[in-house]
Every structure is written in structure tokens, then in C-alpha cells.
Amino acid sequence: MTDPSPQSPQAPKLLDQVRDRLRLKHYSIRTETQYVQWVRRFILFHGKRHPGNMGATEVEAFLTHLAVEGRVAAATQNQALSALLFLYREVLKVDLPWLDKVVRAKTPRRLPVVLTRQEVTAVLDGMSAVHGLMARLLYGTGMRLMECVRLRVKDVDVGRAEIVVRDGKGAKDRITMLPQTLIAPLQAHLQTRRALYEADNLQGKAGVYLPDALDRKYPNAASEWAWQYIFPSGSYSVDPRSGVERRHHIDEKLLQRAVKRAVQASGVAKLATPHTFRHSFATHLLQSGYDIRTVQELLGHADVATTMIYTHVLNKGGRGVVSPLDAI
């Protein structure tokens, strides 16, 4: 009796190929989730046809459906397009002329929502504990929501009153200030955080996610105090990539909800979110007379033109223009 011939290994499914390629190119887990979702929706929209058998007509039909039937924002439509371009160029290795001719939706340029100093005070007075500390850090440093959520112990230098923002937008690091008024509350929070870390260590679950395969280069670093998230989750969770159960950082939605409740309780009639603190930080610095290049550096903007939008939010404009009505 002869042995059966060995079966050829099955080719990975398309969505798995997309995931593998995204991880090879060091895309974030959030981008991976969104791109895979858009590819799946694209395939389902066209009756489960393989993308290799489709082209510009099908891509444009899907994007039109999102805009007309789904009424999605321009940014959402462009994200779907980016996911499909990644699929064709990076996974299917299709580089056809129509890829460059697919028109992106025009994103409207809107002025950011900005709180006055009095409104900031009213909102922050309604927040306490961890969420209150995080909200004050957002306003006091100009950090983005996820930059604050992902802060690690090693990124805060109390002696120099500095915070190093790691891997910000565009994969860039930058330095911002640590407000003097937050040093004592932050140190008190870190004492509590240290106790939680010690408890996790006793259970063998003190490890955290490390970027760029640092866990292989430094096997013990993931369990060191310096790498711990300052604002941890209240429970353990399973890493979707490694399958390891450990404590991740706090869910940003919890802070978003806390800010929303505080805004409603304060009576401030603005649609403020955690990102509004960043807008307010920049605007108030410009109002105080700080140079726009300094503000650009603190915010981590690649182009000063992005920072210039805050001069349009100032009541008197960038040149201190006074309304002629006020001169009567």
C-alpha cells in the first residue's frame, strides 16, 4: 500500500494576506482592522467576486454607494479608497493606470471647536480621578487623545517637566511640557499605578505590548516598570496579534464619554470632545503671544500651514484686528 502523496499547502485567504502585508509594513492595529473591514465590505458589495477580477468601475461604484447610500463623510470615503489601493498595489500587486485616476473625495476644511479659558475650567472642574488627570494633560500639553492614552512611565521626566510623545502622527517623536500643576497629581497616580504593576507581576502578567519587535530584542523589557502604560486598563485582555493575555492601556472611549458628560454638566453649548482640549491649547498659546513656530513644534505639525488654522479661530485674528463697530 503506497503512502498518499503529500497535499500542497493551502494558499492563505485574501484577508489574511492583507493582514500579513499590513503587519510587514508596520501599520498599526487600528489601521489593520479598518483596512480589512473595507476590503471585506468591498467584496461583499460586489457579490463576493474576487478583487482580481474587478477594476476601476467596481471601485468607483463602491465609493459612490458609500457617499450616496451610506452618506459617509469624505474622510471615511477616502479611508475606504486607501484600503482598496493598498489591496491592489501591495497584496494583489496590481499597478494599473486606473489606480491613480480614482478621484478622492474633497475633505471640507472646517474651523476647529475651541473652548475659552472659562469654559475649559468649567469642564475640567466636572472631572476627577484618572479621567480628570488625563483631560488636564490633554489641555496642558496639547497631546492627541491616543498619545495620552499610550503614555508610558519612561516618557515622563518630572525633573525636566517634560513629556516625550512617542510615535505620534506620522510616526514622529516630539517633546512637550509637563505642567507644573500636574506634577504632584501625576506622581500620586504613579504610586497607585506602581502598586497595580507589582500585583500584576506576582501573577506573571506584568508584560505590555512593545513596538517594532522590541520584545524579541529585549526579552525582559515588556515586564519592566519603565515600559508600563501610565493609564492602564482595569482588566486583562488578549492581544489580537500575539494571543498573549496582559493588561493593555485604558480604552479611549471611557475618556471620551467622561468628557462628554462633563461638557453637558458644565452647560457649555459646544460640541467639545477630548480633541477640543488640543485645539484650545494651541489657540490659548497664540492668544498669549507665543510664536506660531513654537506652537507648531509642540503640536507636532509637519507644516506650519496646519498650525495657521488656529489664527483664524482667534477673535481678533492673527494681526490683532479690531472690529470697526468697536471703534465707534
Q: Parallel, antiparallel, or unpaired for β 162-165 and 156-157? A: antiparallel
Supply angle C-alpha 129, 132, 138, rounded to 5.
145
Residue 140 shares a structural domain with residue 78: no
Residue 36 shares a structural domain with residue 137: no
Residue 168 shares a structural domain with residue 290: yes
Shortest CA distance to 134 belongs to which of 73, 182, 167, 195? Answer: 182
Q: Helix, strand or coil for residue 238?
A: strand
Identify the bridge partners of residue 232 per DSSP, sorted by sequence position: 249
Whether the per-residue pLDDT at 289 is higher than 60: the answer is yes
Alpha carbon separation from 311 to 16, 116, 293, 295, 308 (Å, rounded): 46, 15, 12, 11, 5
pLDDT band at 110 (very low <50, low <70, confident <90, very high): confident
Supply the range of the domain harboring residue 251. Answer: 117-312
Q: What is the pLDDT of residues 245-260, one digit of tens each?
A: 888 889 999 999 999 9
Residue 136 shares a structural domain with residue 217: yes
Q: What CA–CA distance (Å, rounded) separates 278 from 3?
A: 68
Residue 243 shares a structural domain with residue 287: yes
Residue 24 shares a structural domain with residue 59: yes
- In this prediction, residue 211 carries a pLDDT of 76
Q: With beta carbons less than 8 A apart as the criterion, state whether 232 and 238 touch.
A: no
Q: Output the pTM of the full model.
A: 0.74
Residue tagged 496639547 (cell numbers): 142
Q: Indicate the number of domains in the chain.
A: 2
Residue 66 shares a structural domain with residue 124: no
Residue 220 shares a structural domain with residue 249: yes
DSSP characters over 183-228: HHHHHHHHHHHHHHHHHHHHTT------STTHHHHSTTGGGSGGGS
Q: What CA–CA distance (Å, rounded) separates 265 from 289?
A: 32
pLDDT band at 265 (very low <50, low <70, confident <90, very high): very high
- In this prediction, residue 320 carries a pLDDT of 54
**Within a domain: 271:** yes
**Within a domain: 51:** yes
pLDDT band at 105 (very low <50, low <70, confident <90, very high): low
Residue 129 shares a structural domain with residue 63: no
Question: Among 101, 129, 149, which residue terminates a domain?
Answer: 101
Q: Helix, strand or coil for residue 21?
A: helix
Cβ neighbours for 280, distance < 8 A, ≥ 6 positions apart: 114, 115, 120, 139
**Within a domain: 109:** no
Q: What is the pLDDT of residues 199-228, one digit of tens each?
A: 988 888 888 888 766 767 777 788 889 899
**Within a domain: 276:** yes
Shortest CA distance to 238 belongs to which of 209, 197, 200? Answer: 209
Q: How many helices (H) and strands (E) does the chain have?
A: 14, 5
Task: For residue 263, give the C-alpha cell.
Answer: 461638557
DSSP characters over 68-129: HTS---HHHHHHHHHHHHHIIIIIS----THHHHSPPPPPP--PPP---HHHHHHHHHT--H
Shortest CA distance to 105 belongs to which of 147, 136, 71? Answer: 71
Q: What CA–CA distance (Å, rounded) separates 98 from 80?
A: 16
**Within a domain: 307:** yes
Catalytic machinery residues? 144, 169, 275, 278, 301, 310
HSE of 219, CA atoms in CB hemisphere, 13 A: 0
Residue 64 shares a structural domain with residue 132: no
**Within a domain: 6:** no
- In this prediction, residue 11 carries a pLDDT of 59
Domain harbouring 54, CATH code: 1.10.150.130
Residue 265 shares a structural domain with residue 132: yes
Residue type, 248: H
